[in-house]
Amino acid sequence: MLIDIIAGARPNFIKIAPIVEAITKAKDRGIDINYRLVHTGQHYDKKMSHDFFEQLGIPEPHHNLEAGSGTQAEQTGKIMMGYEKLLTEKACDLCIVVGDVTSTMACSIVAKKAGNIKVAHVEGGIRSRDLTMPEEINRMVTDAITDYFFTTSATANENLKAAGVPDSRIFFVGNTMIDTLQKQMPRLMAPPVWKSANLSTGAYLVLTLHRPANVDDKSKLAALLHAIIDSSNGLPIVFPVHPRTSKVLSETGVDLSTVHLSEPMSYLEFNFLVKNAKAVVTDSGGITEEATVMGVPCMTLRDNTERPETCTIGTNELIGTDPANIPPAFETLFSGNWKKGGIPPLWDGHTSERIIANIIDIFGIA
Ligand code: UD1
């Protein structure tokens, strides 16, 4: 059996690493299972792509579609054309897509249309109900044509059932991003800023921002940064800057002298910082999951989340995108009253093994 694994953007690389490993282990046990790793090229900077492959021990992709940057339509079109060509040359038996990025949607459509190939969506079923997010459209389109849903949460299962997906196609397996985190936890390492800024455990903040709604407009970004800096009680703020944000940041005119800016950080360095931080301020989805597992207070600068369990069970709190909501959140943090969190069911480091066991079962290749 040949499985295509699609990876396009930074969070995908973290999610596919343990799946590749689980397939390799099954193959080593003599099971007739093989994979072809397809990098779409959506993220291409060394720090957004290559460094993740290296640190997480992901083998070289078999194919790189080299889609690169562009508008949503340009990027989608380039990925679709590249993947269609690949499938025309050699089809596969199953296409695994992960997460919610443009590559996820583009390749799932091609797999179904170009060869009626079965599609498995890892992290299927989650919904923000916010159609201004390109990711929500990617999730809805992908899930509309997915055959097998490997889900991270009870909420995802409910969403799928409400959309009429039968139980037989829903596999509640947990979170592959957490497989990677559990495995890499002992290898986390301090980035240079740890020493250069004289950071210590519980005495700094980590900030990431990259959602179009927060960073594409310079006055919006400036207002958020002002509120965060003014509320931070003088704690150092470490801010690894996403390429999308970096384009606007220099135009905001905000005094960033107390902020430690850096290029996007490697996986091991970034998660070292999160693990030891007083709190994380972010608009990412994946980081709210990692902060939950590490028990670190997390403020999410979004009005909604497709990962409600990070709030109901974990340490995450939706602060919203109004800068006025930021000071009260910091007051809760500094008064020592931030909630203590737990870990959502099946986020135990064994999700990818469960996914591959299910695939072996579904396709009868044991
Ligand atoms: C994408 C995902 C988002 C994910 C994020 C993580 C979609 C719709 N969005 O957003 O869900 O959380 O990745 O990083 O798929 N750029 C570079 N170098 C790169 C990659 C991008 O300079 O290696 C630039 C692009 O030129 C573009 C901007 O960054 O201007 C945004 O990149 P893009 O891949 O379109 O979306 P992200 O904002 O990264």
Ligand 1 atom closest to residue 210's alpha carbon, by position in its atom list: 38
Q: Is 39 in the pocket of ligand 1 (CB under 6 A)?
A: no
Q: Indicate the CATH number for domain 2-175+347-363.
A: 3.40.50.2000
**Mean pLDDT (whole number) for 251-279:** 96
- Residue for token digits 């940041």? 249
In the chain the first and final C-alpha atoms are separated, in Å, by: 11
Ligand 1: distance of its center to the CA of 7 in Å? 13
Ligand 1: distance of its center to the CA of 17 in Å? 20
Q: CATH 3.40.50.2000 spans which residues of the chain?
A: 2-175+347-363, 187-334
Ligand 1: distance of its center to the CA of 211 in Å? 9
pLDDT band at 258 (very low <50, low <70, confident <90, very high): confident
pLDDT band at 83 (very low <50, low <70, confident <90, very high): very high
148, 171 Cβ separation under 8 angstroms = yes
Q: Distance (Å, rounded) from C-alpha 169 to C-alpha 150?
A: 9
Structure confidence at residue 115 (pLDDT): 80
Ligand 1: distance of its center to the CA of 11 in Å? 10
Mutational test site, ligand 1, from 13, 43, 48, 97, max ligand atoms within 8 Å of CB: 43
Nearest to 291 by CA among 235, 224, 221, 344: 344
* pLDDT, tens only, 99-110: 999 999 999 999
Structure confidence at residue 321 (pLDDT): 96
User: Which residue has the least CA distance to atom 21 on ligand 1?
Assistant: 43
* pLDDT, tens only, 324-360: 999 999 999 999 999 999 999 999 999 999 999 999 9
pLDDT band at 366 (very low <50, low <70, confident <90, very high): confident
Domain 187-334 listed as CATH 3.40.50.2000: yes
0.95 cut: is pTM over it?
yes
Rg (CA), the chain: 20
Q: Does position 282 have pLDDT exceeding 80, yes or no?
A: yes
User: Which residue has the least CA distance to atom 13 on ligand 1?
Assistant: 9
308, 129 Cβ separation under 8 angstroms = no
175, 287 Cβ separation under 8 angstroms = no
* pLDDT, tens only, 109-167: 999 998 899 999 999 999 999 999 999 999 999 999 999 999 999 999 999 999 999 99
* pLDDT, tens only, 22-77: 999 999 999 999 999 999 999 999 999 999 999 999 999 999 999 999 999 999 99
User: Which residue has the least CA distance to atom 31 on ligand 1?
Assistant: 244
Q: What is the mean pLDDT of the chain?
A: 97
Q: Does position 17 have pLDDT exceeding 80, yes or no?
A: yes
Ligand 1 atom closest to residue 100's alpha carbon, by position in its atom list: 11
Q: Is 135 in the pocket of ligand 1 (CB under 6 A)?
A: yes
Catalytic site residues? 210
Ligand 1: distance of its center to the CA of 9 in Å? 7
CB under 8 Å, gap of 24 or more: what pairs does 229-234 form?
229/254, 229/255, 229/258, 229/259, 230/327, 231/326, 231/327, 231/329, 231/330, 231/331, 232/205, 232/258, 232/330, 233/330, 233/334, 234/258
Q: Is 47 in the pocket of ligand 1 (CB under 6 A)?
A: no
Q: Does position 309 have pLDDT exceeding 90, yes or no?
A: yes
Q: Does position 181 have pLDDT exceeding 80, yes or no?
A: yes
Ligand 1: distance of its center to the CA of 4 in Å? 22
3-state secondary structure the chain: CEEEEEECCHHHHHHHHHHHHHHHHHHHCCCCCEEEEEECCCCCCCCCCHHHHHHHCCCCCCEECCCCCCCHHHHHHHHHHHHHHHHHHCCCCEEEEECCCHHHHHHHHHHHHHHCCEEEEECCCCCCCCCCCHHHHHHHHHHHHCCEEEECCHHHHHHHHHCCCCHHHEEECCCHHHHHHHHHHHHCCCCHHHHHCCCCCCCCEEEECCCHHHHCCHHHHHHHHHHHHHHCCCCCEEEECCHHHHHHHCCCCCCCCCEEEECCCCHHHHHHHHHHCCEEEECCCHHHHHHHHHCCCEEECCCCCCCCHHHHCCCEEECCCCHHHHHHHHHHHHCCCCCCCCCCCCCCCCHHHHHHHHHHHHCCCC
- Contacts of residue 293, Cβ cutoff 8 Å, sequence gap at least 6: 178, 181, 182, 314, 343, 347
Q: Is 50 in the pocket of ligand 1 (CB under 6 A)?
A: no
Structure confidence at residue 117 (pLDDT): 98
Q: Is 74 in the pocket of ligand 1 (CB under 6 A)?
A: no
Ligand 1 atom closest to residue 103's alpha carbon, by position in its atom list: 15
Q: Is 40 in the pocket of ligand 1 (CB under 6 A)?
A: no
